[in-house]
Copies of this chain bind each other. A is one copy, B any other.
């Protein structure tokens, strides 16, 4: 094999394994969300609100890496279930502040606890050092430019 081929081969292999791992872990962890009738996006929004407090839709979109159009729909659906509520900001009337309702807070606390446990369980196949190492490597890959 020429050096270029080796390089390509290694890169493709690593890429494939990264993608498989992410999809595999996501699909298992998301079952916990589905059990509470939450999609991954819905969980992402509620979790952002739980840990960051009230946010405008644009910030939520940036946090969960979805389009603002999509966030409008996700919030619509959460609002129908009274898990969040929209509040127009008085300072800048373009903004909507999204807040958890009491019911929403209660739900996301419960579900987050279970999702957290699922994630911990997933990561237990790696030692502490391996987890740290994986984190460092992933961070390097994520650092490049571009949406995402």
Contacts from A to B (Cβ < 8 Å): 7-8, 10-15, 17-29, 31, 65, 116, 119-120, 122-126, 128, 130-135, 137-144, 146-148
Instruction: Describe A's contact surface by its main secondary structure.
Output: helix
How distant is the Cα of A122 from the Cα of B110 in the complex, in angstroms?
A: 38
A21's contact among B119, B123, B138, by CB below 8 Å, is which? B138
Please tell me if the beta carbons of A147 and B27 are within 8 angstroms of each other in the complex: yes
A28's contact among B20, B120, B148, by CB below 8 Å, is which? B148
* 9 A-B pairs whose Cβ atoms sit less than 8 Å apart in the complex: A7-B128, A12-B120, A14-B132, A14-B138, A28-B146, A28-B148, A31-B146, A125-B140, A125-B141
Please tell me if the beta carbons of A23 and B144 are within 8 angstroms of each other in the complex: no
Please tell me if the beta carbons of B24 and A134 are within 8 angstroms of each other in the complex: no
Please tell me if the beta carbons of B21 and A139 are within 8 angstroms of each other in the complex: yes
| CB neighbours of A18 from chain B (8 A) | 18, 21-22, 25, 134-135, 138
